Amino acid sequence: MKRWHKIAIGSAAGIVLAGAALFALDAADKAYPPPLDRANAVSAEVLDADGQLLRAFATSEGRWRLKTAVSDVDPQFLRMLIAYEDQRFYDHGGVDPWALGRAAMQLVGNGRIVSGASTLSMQVARLIEPREGRSLSAKLLQLVRAVQIERRLSKEQILDLYLTHAPYGGNLEGARAASLAYFGKEPRRLTVAEAALLVALPQLPERRRPDRNLKTAEAARKRVLDRVAVAEAVGDGEAERAEGVAVPSRRMQLPALAAHVAEAALRKEPDVLKHQTTLKKQVQQGLESVARAAAMKLGPKLSLAMVMADAQTGAIVGEVGSADYFDASRSGWIDMTRVNRSPGSTLKPFIYGLAFEQGLVSQETIIEDRPADFFGYRPRNFDMSYQGDVTVREALQLSLNVPAVKLLDAVGPSRLMVRFRRAEVRPVLPPNETPGLAIGLGGVGITLKDLVQLYTALANRGQPARLGDGVTGAPGKLDGEPLLEPVAVWSVADILSGVIPPAGAPQRGIAYKTGTSYGYRDAWSVGYDGRYVLGVWVGRPDNSAVPGLTGYGTAAPILFEGFAKSGIATTPLPRPPAGAVRIAQSELPISQRRFALNANGLLVASGREAAPQIIYPPEGAHVDLGAGAGNLSPLMLKLQGGRAPFRWLANGKPLPDLSRRRTQQWLPDGGGYSKLTVIDSAGRAASVGVFID
């Protein structure tokens, strides 16, 4: 009995001592945890709308260390890595006893290290807590840290750390950075040869750098491919075939797109590691290639900027802030998409749109292009010549200045500025000045981004979109009133789509307008199809004059090349809305055949004040307002001529209010035939009969 009693006491004491030892180990583990927080120091990334890498930034110590997860790499690469580095990775707890025993026996038998015993967990421990030199104490610390790491992280998380921190030569760390630098692609799809090289390099990254020691890199890759376990992991014959593939001999630059957008993203959220943008990588690459080629032709000190936006969503899909971010001679660090400059003639389409909307003119209305004096303001054409009588269509296509100012005088500069505010765009007027006629020829300041935002209305049936800033600003449609009515928007697009492309540029089915600011300081071109708007600015950031700089000759070729290289298929321009028609001059109402104003600002015809005429809807028109569906929409009424105020009657019944405007809305009671009449202040009347469908 005494013997059994002693055994029981001894066992209990052993259990207590073991428990105490485990408690002590646990306390030590908690007191000296592995420095996993160091693993969070990774490169900041700027991504496109689909999550593709646009630009990465080196860490504070100058490392390209892109955060990499198991899901970011080719599964075959992982199988090869584990087969070569740590075959029992999923079975051990951080330390592989079999590998330790084998390494010890080889050391005793050969007097030198033949093979290592480091598991992937031990390698992670060394990567996040590097030690100078190789010593027994350093190796013991790795063993302890590996066990600690295994207690805290899953196997997948440990692999994530290895894939992020493994060294690949120079300042490259992690499988993603290495794959981008040596293969020019993300590591999601790797060939056997590429995967083998990524497995081989981290063991001796400096000696095996393929860009410096190609033969050594080839030999290291061959050792990986010759390993039986690797050959079994990749399949029959694949390893032999991979040995014949050339090893890349140069290191490529990591993606470095959208410099200005990327810098803006970091300034806004400096602590965020991944910044999502609205850009599209394919579009951005295309626009930047166009910008680089154009800069070489433009010559020194000139810069350029480009903004491409989705008119339906408001997303900026491509943005180039300067010809070259790092070119000091061009002040490349300045983001010229955000700088106010004179827009030249690029605002003219909105003047014409207002004139169409108010019924002042039609496309074939004759308007004079002759010297004119607007209370001391005497606009002249770009080439100092005059065309005489031209149609409104020709006046806009040729970008004639006098007709544009005449129309702006009729619609009112303040009204134009109010319309711009509907698009949340506020052009900058000269100090202490009110809106004047010079607006039509570039006498305001506007940014390229805001100009593109205005043009989204022309590409989207009059409804503008908010572009945001490409980073954190939320894009989207603006819910307020449209900038212009759909019929007026269609008329503008119908004219601008007929402008001849610059020499050598293909006809892409886009509508576009050019502009050149006073003194040859800014060249502009803005174009759009049925979905996208692209704006181009060219000039010197210091606002110096550039002789020979023009919108048509300098910016328009870049615009067409930008559309071509963006990779986006052309979307047809919107179809004509209800009521949009081309009317021959001979069929126009007499008051619309020629645009002229008397001293009181009233439209005149044949030298006398014109009587009112209803120009929309035309006589006998069938207008689809949804009567068949029982959900009628209002009908827009437009008149020309006459003297305000005006009284409208529908089927003999007066509409509620007198109006001083030449447009009015009427909501029918139902479908069928209706008679519409307008009477001006002089008692003159006009009527049309229409059919409401």
Give the pLDDT confidence of 13-39 residue by residue, as tens digits: 444 443 443 344 566 677 678 888 877
Residue with the larger pLDDT of the pair 686 and 113? 686
Query: b vs e for 597-625, b when ≥16 Cβ sit within 10 Å of the residue's Cβ?
Result: eeeeeebbbeeebbbbbbbbbeeebebeb
Find the range with the poorest average confidence among 190-204, 408-422, 466-480, 574-588. Answer: 466-480
Give the pLDDT confidence of 267-279 residue by residue, as tens digits: 989 989 999 999 9
What are the residues facing 679 on neighbouring strands?
647, 685
User: Across 354-363, 419-428, 580-589, 640-649, which has the greatest mean pLDDT?
Assistant: 419-428
Query: Which residues neighbour 362 within 8 Å (Cβ) at sequence distance 6 or greater?
Result: 356, 392, 491, 583, 588, 592, 615
Q: What is the pLDDT of residue 549?
A: 95
Determine the longest span between alpha carbons in the chain, in angstroms.
137
Query: b vs e for 658-676, b when ≥16 Cβ sit within 10 Å of the residue's Cβ?
Result: ebeebebeeebeebeebeb
Residue with the larger pLDDT of the pair 599 and 358? 358
User: Across 191-205, 364-378, 627-641, 655-669, which has the greatest mean pLDDT?
Assistant: 191-205
Residue 393 has pLDDT above 60, yes or no: yes
Q: What is the pLDDT of residue 345?
A: 97
Q: What is the pLDDT of residue 14?
A: 43
Residue 112 has pLDDT above 80, yes or no: no
CA distance 569 to 286: 13
Residue for token digits 């120009």? Answer: 615
Give the pLDDT confidence of 48-83 residue by residue, as tens digits: 999 999 999 999 899 999 999 999 999 999 999 999
Q: What is the pLDDT of residue 4?
A: 54
Residue 554 to residues 29, 66, 233, 501, 532: CA-CA distances in angstroms? Answer: 69, 40, 58, 12, 21
CA distance 514 to 525: 4
Q: What is the pLDDT of residue 352?
A: 97
pLDDT band at 359 (very low <50, low <70, confident <90, very high): confident
Q: What is the pLDDT of residue 632?
A: 83
Find the range with the poorest average confidence among 2-6, 477-481, 625-629, 645-649. Answer: 2-6
Contact in structure between 459 and 533 (CB atoms under 8 Å): yes
Q: What is the pLDDT of residue 13?
A: 44
Q: What is the pLDDT of residue 588?
A: 82
Q: What is the pLDDT of residue 687?
A: 85
Give the pLDDT confidence of 462-500 residue by residue, as tens digits: 999 999 888 866 677 777 889 999 999 999 999 999 999
Give the pLDDT confidence of 234-249 residue by residue, as tens digits: 887 888 899 999 999 9
Residue 132 has pLDDT above 70, yes or no: no
**Average pLDDT of 118-128?**
91
Residue 389 has pLDDT above 90, yes or no: yes
Residue with the larger pLDDT of the pair 598 and 148? 148
**Average pLDDT of 639-648?**
85
DSSP of 218-230, one letter per residue? HHHHHHHHH-HHH
Q: What's the chain's average pLDDT?
A: 88
* Neighbour count for residue 293 (Cβ, 10 Å): 13
Q: Residue 379 is encoded by which pair of tokens?
A: 């606009």
Going by the DSSP 8-state scheme, the letter that residue 659 receives in this structure is B
Q: What is the pLDDT of residue 102?
A: 66
Find the range with the poorest average confidence among 244-248, 506-510, 531-535. Answer: 506-510
Q: What is the pLDDT of residue 680?
A: 86
How much of the chain exceeds pLDDT 70, in percent? 90
State how beta strands 64-65 and 608-609 pair.
Answer: unpaired
Q: What is the pLDDT of residue 614?
A: 87
Residue 7 has pLDDT above 70, yes or no: no
Find the range with the poorest average confidence among 92-106, 220-234, 261-275. Answer: 92-106
Residue 87 has pLDDT above 80, yes or no: yes
pLDDT band at 307 (very low <50, low <70, confident <90, very high): very high
CA distance 29 to 324: 53
How much of the chain exceeds pLDDT 90, in percent? 59
DSSP of 360-372, one letter per residue? S--TT-EEEES--
Residue 657 has pLDDT above 50, yes or no: yes
Residue with the larger pLDDT of the pair 371 and 643? 371
* SS3 track for 674-687: EEEEEECCCCCEEE
Residue 586 has pLDDT above 60, yes or no: yes
Catalytic residues: 85, 345
- Rounded-to-10 torsion of CA 384, 388, 392, 395: -20
Find the range with the poorest average confidence among 290-299, 500-509, 560-569. Answer: 500-509
Give the pLDDT confidence of 148-194 residue by residue, as tens digits: 999 999 999 999 999 999 999 999 999 999 999 999 999 999 999 99
Give the pLDDT confidence of 277-297 residue by residue, as tens digits: 999 999 999 999 999 999 999
